[in-house]
Amino acid sequence: MVPLMVLLMALAVAPRSVRAIGKSSKVHLAHLTLIGGKAPRAKGLVALSGEIRSRTNISMYRGMQRVTAASPVLLRMPLLVTTANGALPRLSGAEVVRLRRHLARGGTWILDGPVNAGGAALFWASASRLAGQLYPKHKLAPLPPAHTLFKSFYLLRPSWFRRQSLPIRAVVRDGRATLIVVQGLSAAGSGTVAGRSREWLFRLTVNLVMYALCVDYKSDQVHAPTILRRRHWRVP
Amino acid sequence: MNTEWELLWRPPFGSVGLVASLVGALLILGLGYLSTAGRPVWVRGAIVTARLVAVSLVLLLLWRPTWRVADVTRGRDRMAVLLDESASMGLPGKGAGRSRMADARRSLAGADGAERGWLRRYAVDYFAYGNGLRRSSRHVLQKTREPKGAGTRLLAALEALRGRYRGRQLAGVVVVSDGRDTGQLQAGLTPELVGRVKGLDVPVNVVPMRAPSLRDVAVVRVIPDDLAFVRNVARVRAELRVSGAGDQAVEVTLRSGGKVLQRRLTTGTKEHREVIFELVPERVGTLVGEVTATPLPGEATTANNTRRFVLKVVRDRVRVLQIAGRPSWDVRFLRQHLKRDPNVDLVSFFILRTHLDITYAMPGEMSLIEFPVRQLFSTHLSSFDLVVMQDFERYPAEVGIYLDNIARYVRGGGALAVLGGEHTLSRGGFVGTRFAEVLPVKLLSPGPPSTLLSEDLFKPRWTSLAEHHPITRAGGLPALSTERLRTLPALEGFNRVARAHRDAVVLAVHPTQRGPDGRPAPVLAVREVERGRVLTLLTDSGWLWRFAAAGGASAYDAFWQRAVRYLLGDPEFDRLRVVTGHHPYPADQPFGITITASDPKYLPQKSVLIAYRVVRTDRTPETEVTTGSGTTGESGELAVSLTLPPGTFRVEAKGLLEGRSVQARGELVTEGRAAELARVDPDAGLLMAVAAATGGRVLDPDGLARARVHAPRVVRLDNLRSEPLVGNVWLLWGLIALALGVEWLLRRRYSLA
């Protein structure tokens, strides 16, 4: 703990960045709209970007970047977020091709559903169908508690999300979660969710972005002793 | 001089008149036949015959047949007989206990009669062919006992033959062979090659040598990985052809340096079998190995049971330290590239937050650890082979007091890659430090961000030096070239610097922006600093070459693989190199290798005196086979022609570069008859296809006289005249009238008129 405090004090004299080297060096929560779908809570994503910027060292893009699967900039936005109030539309053939290519090259796609029970049921059914369109041989599955996503920045307890009926499921390809399905992120950003839940959803958002950027960095051996000690030598 | 006769037909209106008159004649005959229905057979026959005679005579009148008679003198054109002298002709032939060559000799002996016939009109030349074409004589060819040619290249031989007779008439060719080809016709006469064969413009007659079904196992090909990494698994794939052995198991052995590395048993009934070996090279350099199939009882030959290969083994396992000022896509994609490399032991440290970031959590609720500045830059720095710094600045992580260590690390032989970003280089607080002194670029003094950063989209312009530098030049592995790099997506934003260091090699510059010195702003530069090497890529958007590039990750991965190998001083990237292929060279035939010399900027260095020697390495003790010397030309290359027996060899070269003696070495393998004998069964189908494409004939061994040839050319025409076949037209008219009269009488007699 003491070295960390020393480090933090040392960091106190550091100048803050005022300018990006280019738009590509910023991290975007690119808001992906599907054909026939809506993109609610866009402002929630802007708020989430602000939260990530204030909590971490990531250079987040300040505005909103909307994309579709046909956008020329799709392959300059490795992190996509699609928000929904209910069922997601079926992917067109062209969307499947372009999104598969995006994910295969290293992209990450987060599907963010609503928190209300009725909408959530429709959302999860459509998300499973959509995952099947992208990956016919793979299914959405819960991530194991020891997955890097739960320790990429904050130490999160997956059990808390289960208890709040906010499951986290993903398709893992080549050791990396490429399609991640969650609920309530943009809702927390737009203020629909309040209190302790909101904070936990913010932390999940930070971890998701950190995971997209660092993948298994926090699974490196050098981090293991610290993480285990802080978790009291228990797997969450 | 001879008198030659030719019958010409001249129907009115040419071929149209010919067809029309034929159709008319058939119609008249058909009507005549139908009109005699119900009459006795002999009556019908007599009437139709009379009409047939009349119609035929009319056709003779219409078609006006004429003899063309010429008194000509013809030249004595050439004919060529080619005998296949490749090793496969030594395999069993059709005759009991006889080789194909013995059968071929008998065929040539039987050519006496044919030749007597040909000799009247042609001069006959004899050739032997295998990998090349050799002039010979029938007498010499008939004495050939043991064919030894290590290859069969029929198409090349025919084209060489055509070249020899350029400007002279070649009337025909006779090829005596088993048809087994190792050249361009190996896969048969493909549609692309048919045109070349037809282009020979000479009938190629073939005499296929046949053989009974043979029992044999052959190692057809050995395909090692393009590159292997030391102490990592590499794969060697061996393709076998098992003939006449049914489902018999075959043992296949992988050896290197005289030691058996692995044995595999291949089973099944398929003729084509495949065995995959896995081996772990222990040393950087070249691994020479061989794959051997244990001979079966009663095999046609064992000369095709062993094939050799060369496997290039690069780089020992390396420790790489990747430190980043913040998480970014550039950091993420480079980390993934390095993590995928089994030979990289990667240690990453990213600064995930600063003191100004408000986490709303206690330290125990986060996974963050202290950035171990002292351990990394003081205690453990020398244990890393390469340090990668991405968007890293001096102050937040307290690196400042250790900057001298990094500079010392580089000068002592360490490798450093510094990648751009919004907080680093001229904005990183490094100006005036010893760290800045080892960089390939001179940094700008602190100033407003707009003077130190650029946000524009751009495609780097690759310099002429990039065409020769090992990171970006064409050729070599993994495949990359400036041409390929030009096709990559545009980068976005770059770090401005004052200029490139005078010792630096600038590989890429900004297409429009210039530095304070007026020169194009550098984007990618490398520099050798005493014993170490440094690379700077002045952007943090290099990841777009992987994520946004059409055709996937190959160029990005190839760029970084090469960059890491260059930074680590891979011998493949030495300035004096012996360039050898990793496929076997043909034994006992001249082949070429290259020794290249380049200057510190990797530009070709001419007039470098290089001494070389070739050492045979598959025997103990190693023996020197040949030596030589020469100077490099304008391209910095010395071409060396070698003729070596089958075996494995090392080429050692020595030269003087900038007054310093430099050595290089390369391994190579030569192979004898194994490739030629990879298939033991004859391929008459190929020969037949060649004959069909050229208008030649397929001949029996004793039927050479039937060869189809062009008529000898006319060298003098003394007299040319035409003589009608039917001199008296009135006689024809009379005969027509007679035939029609007979028909009329018969019809009257039998009430048909």
Q: How far apart are CA B557 and CA B561, in angstroms?
A: 6
A16 band by pLDDT with thresholds 50, 70 and 90: very low
Q: Do B404 and B461 lie in a common domain?
A: yes
| Cα distance between residue B581 and residue B589, in whole Å | 16
Residues of A in contact with B547 (CB under 8 A): 75-76, 78, 105-107
Of A11, A78, A155, the CB nearest to B366: A155
Contact state of A153 with B547 under an 8 Å Cβ cutoff: no
- Report whether pLDDT(B492) > 90: yes
Residue A23 carries which DSSP code? G
Please count the CA atoms within 13 angstroms of the CA of A179 that sit on its side-chain side. 23
Closest by Cα among B431, B425, B429, B416 to B538: B425
With CB atoms and an 8 Å threshold, state whether B396 touches A11. yes
Helical spans, DSSP H, in A39-157 = 42-55, 93-104, 117-134
Structure tokens at B10: 């001249």
pLDDT for B77 equals: 83
Tally Cβ neighbours within 10 Å of residue B280.
12
Q: How confident is the model at residue B673 (pLDDT cuts 50, 70, 90)?
A: confident
Grade residue B753 by pLDDT with cuts at 50, 70 and 90. low
Residue A1 lies in a domain: no
One domain for residues B696 and B728: no
Cα distance between residue B744 and residue B738, in whole Å? 10
Q: Which residues of B touch A23 (CB under 8 A)?
A: 455, 492-493
Pick the residue from chain A with its C-alpha nearest to B325: A57
Report the range of poorest mean pLDDT among A113-127, A132-146, A202-216, B106-120: B106-120
Contacts of A155 in chain B (CB under 8 A): 364-367
Nearest CA in chain B to A157: B365
Interchain pair A106, B546: CB under 8 A: yes
Residues B177 and B229 both lie in one domain:
no
Q: B487 and B343, same structural domain?
A: yes
Q: Is residue A18 in some structural domain?
A: no
Token duo for residue B245: 């052995």
- Measure the CA–CA gap between B333 and B306, rounded to whole angstroms: 44
Whole domain around residue B162: which residue ranges? 76-209+681-712
Per-residue pLDDT averaged across B435-451, rounded? 93
| CATH number for position A154 | 3.40.50.12140
Cβ contact (<8 Å) for B398 and A78?
Answer: no
Test A155 with B365 for CB contact under 8 angstroms. yes
Q: Which of residues 333-392 of B touch A (CB under 8 A)?
A: 333, 335-336, 339, 347-361, 363-371
Interface test with A, best of B366, B426, B456 (most A CBs within 10 A): B366
Q: Average the pLDDT over A115-141 and give the result.
A: 93
Q: How far B689 CA sits from the closest chain A CA (Å)?
A: 45
Q: Decide if A89 contacts A36 (C-beta within 8 A).
A: yes
Domain-terminating residue out of B257, B290, B314: B314
Specify the pairing of strand B505-514 against strand B453-458: unpaired
- The answer to whether residue B476 is domain-embedded is yes
* Cβ separation B355–A11 shorter than 8 A: yes
Mean pLDDT of B405-423: 94
pLDDT at A15 over 70: no
Give the per-residue pLDDT at B112. Answer: 66
Number of domains in chain B: 5
CB B247 within 8 A of CB B269: yes
> Which chain A residue has the Cα nearest residue B492?
A22
Which residues touch B105 (CB under 8 Å, ≥6 apart)?
A: B141, B142, B144
**Domain for residue A14, yes or no?**
no
Average pLDDT of the residues in B347-357: 87
Instruction: Report the alpha-carbon angle B359-B365-B366, nearest 5.
Output: 65
Whole-number Cα distances in Å, A112 to A152, B359, B749: 19, 23, 108
For residue B314, pLDDT beyond 90: no
Q: What pLDDT does residue B352 have? A: 92
Task: State residue B256's pLDDT score.
Answer: 87
Q: Which residues of A touch B393 (CB under 8 A)?
A: 14
Contact status, residue B394 vs residue A15, Cβ threshold 8 Å: no
Closest C-alpha to A152, from A44, A28, A62, A56: A56
Work out whether strand B499-500 and strand B585-586 pair parallel, antiparallel, or are unpaired: unpaired
Neighbour-count burial of B702, counting CB atoms closer than 10 A to its CB (0-12 exposed, 13-18 middle, 19+ buried): middle
Residue of B nearest to A4 (CA): B370
| CA–CA separation, B444 and B462 (whole Å) | 23
Q: Across residues A115-144, what is the average pLDDT?
A: 93
Does residue A164 belong to any structural domain of this protein? yes
Mutate to test the interface with A, among B336, B346, B352 (most CBs of A within 10 A): B352
| CA-based nearest residue to B197, from B183, B176, B177 | B183
Residue in A137, A68, A127, A143 with CA at minimum distance from that of residue A99: A68
Chain B residues near residue A222 by CB distance under 8 angstroms: 347, 349, 369
Q: Between the CA of residue B447 and those of A19, B426, B440, what are the distances in Å?
A: 13, 9, 21
Kindly list the distances between the CA atom of residue A26 and the CA atoms of B322, B326, B460, in Å, as whole numbers in the listed order: 20, 11, 21
Provide the pLDDT confidence category of residue B563 given band limits of 50, 70 and 90.
very high
- Whether B404 and B521 map to the same domain: the answer is yes
Pair (B111, B202) in one structural domain: yes
Residue with tokens 């297409």: B511
Name the 3-class secondary structure at B452: helix
Give residue-wise pLDDT tens across range A189-236: 999 888 899 999 999 999 999 999 999 898 887 777 777 777 665 655
Torsion of CA A206, A96, B543, A186, to 10 degrees: -20
- Residue of A13, A16, A21, A198 to mutate when probing chain B, most B C-beta within 10 A: A21
Q: What pLDDT was estimated at residue B500? A: 96
Residue-averaged pLDDT of chain B: 89
- On whether residue A90 sits in a domain, the answer given is yes
Q: Residue B676: inside a domain, yes or no?
A: no
- Is the domain of B554 the same as that of B434? yes
pLDDT range class, residue B114, cuts 50, 70, 90: low
- Looking at residue B400, which CATH number applies to its domain? 3.40.50.880
For residue B639 the two structure tokens come to 């071409």
Please answer yes or no on whether B367 and A15 come within 8 Å at the CB atom: no
Q: Does B34 touch chain A (CB under 8 A)?
A: no
* Section B145-153 average pLDDT: 84
Q: Residue A137's domain spans which residues? A: 23-230
Query: For residue A154, what are the β-bridge partners?
Result: B366
User: Is residue A77 a contact partner of residue A214, using CB atoms and an 8 Å limit?
Assistant: no
The C-alpha of A86 sits at a distance from chain B's nearest C-alpha, in angstroms, of 31
- Give pLDDT tens digits for B202-224: 999 999 998 888 899 999 989 88
Whether B357 and A54 lie within 8 Å, measured CB to CB: yes
pLDDT tens figures, B607-631: 999 999 999 988 778 899 999 999 9
- Give the H or E element holding residue A224: helix A224-230
Task: Indicate whether B689 pLDDT > 90.
Answer: yes
Q: Which among B522, B538, B569 is the end of a domain?
A: B569
B62, B108 contact by CB (below 8 A): no
Q: When comparing pLDDT for B238 and B476, which is higher?
A: B238
State how many domains chain A has: 1
Q: What is the DSSP string of B615-683?
A: EE-SSSS-EEEEEEEEE--TTSEEEEEE---SEEEEEEEEEEETTEEEEEEEEEEEE-STTTTS--S--
Are B584 and B639 in the same domain?
A: yes
Q: Is residue A147 part of a domain?
A: yes
B748/B128 Cα distance (integer angstroms): 76
Residue pointed to by tokens 């130490």: A155
The tokens describing B166, both together, are: 């350029």
| Lowest-pLDDT range of B374-378, B396-400, B450-454 | B396-400
- B422 and chain A in contact, CB less than 8 A: yes
Which of B131-135, B162-166, B549-553, B672-676 shows the lowest per-residue confidence on average (mean pLDDT)?
Answer: B549-553
B366 and B418 assigned to the same domain: yes
pLDDT score for B169:
81
Instruction: Give counts: helices (H), strands (E), chain B.
Output: 17, 36
- The answer to whether residues B243 and B308 belong to one domain is yes
**Please, what is the Cα angle at B155 between B154 and B157, to 5 degrees?**
65
- Span B534-558, mean pLDDT? 89
Residues β-bridged to residue B7: B67
Q: List CB contacts (< 8 A) between A212 and chain B.
A: 332
Residue of A nearest to B455 (CA): A22
Helix (H) / strand (E) element for B242: namely: strand B234-243
Helix, strand, coil % in chain B, rounded to nearest 5: 25, 35, 40
Task: Please report the pLDDT score of residue B752 as a whole number.
Answer: 73
pLDDT tier at A151 (50, 70, 90 boundaries)? very high
Listed range (B238-242, B593-597, B645-649) with the worst mean pLDDT: B645-649
First to last CA, chain B: 58
CATH number (domain holding residue B254) = 2.60.40.10
pLDDT at B421 exceeding the cut of 90: yes
How many angstroms separate the CA of residue A94 from the nearest CA in chain B? 17
Q: Do residues B437 and B347 both lie within one domain?
A: yes
Mean pLDDT calculated for residue range B412-416: 95
Closest CA to B4 of B746, B721, B569: B721
Residue B410 has a pLDDT of 96
**pLDDT of A91 strictly over 50:** yes
- pLDDT per residue as tens digits for the range B49-76: 999 999 999 998 888 888 888 887 777 7
Q: Does residue A76 lie in a domain region?
A: yes
- C-alpha distance from A52 to closest chain B C-alpha (Å): 9
Query: Is residue A14's pLDDT more than 60?
Result: no
* pTM for the full predicted model: 0.68
How far is it, in rounded angstroms, from Cα B65 to Cα A25? 90
Which of the listed ranges B31-35, B50-54, B147-151, B677-681 does the model predict with the highest average pLDDT?
B50-54
Better pLDDT: B467 or B110: B467
Q: Is the pLDDT of residue A13 over 50?
A: no
How far, CA to CA in Å, does B703 sit from each of A43, B176, B203, B207, B551? 92, 12, 16, 9, 58
- The tokens describing B517, both together, are 């010195």
Does A17 score more than 60 pLDDT? Answer: no
Position A186 scores a pLDDT of: 95
Instruction: State mean pLDDT over A82-102.
Output: 96
Same domain for B194 and B103?
Answer: yes
The two tokens of residue B728 are 């008296």
Contact flag A11-B368 (C-beta cutoff 8 Å): no
Residues of A in contact with B326 (CB under 8 A): 57-59
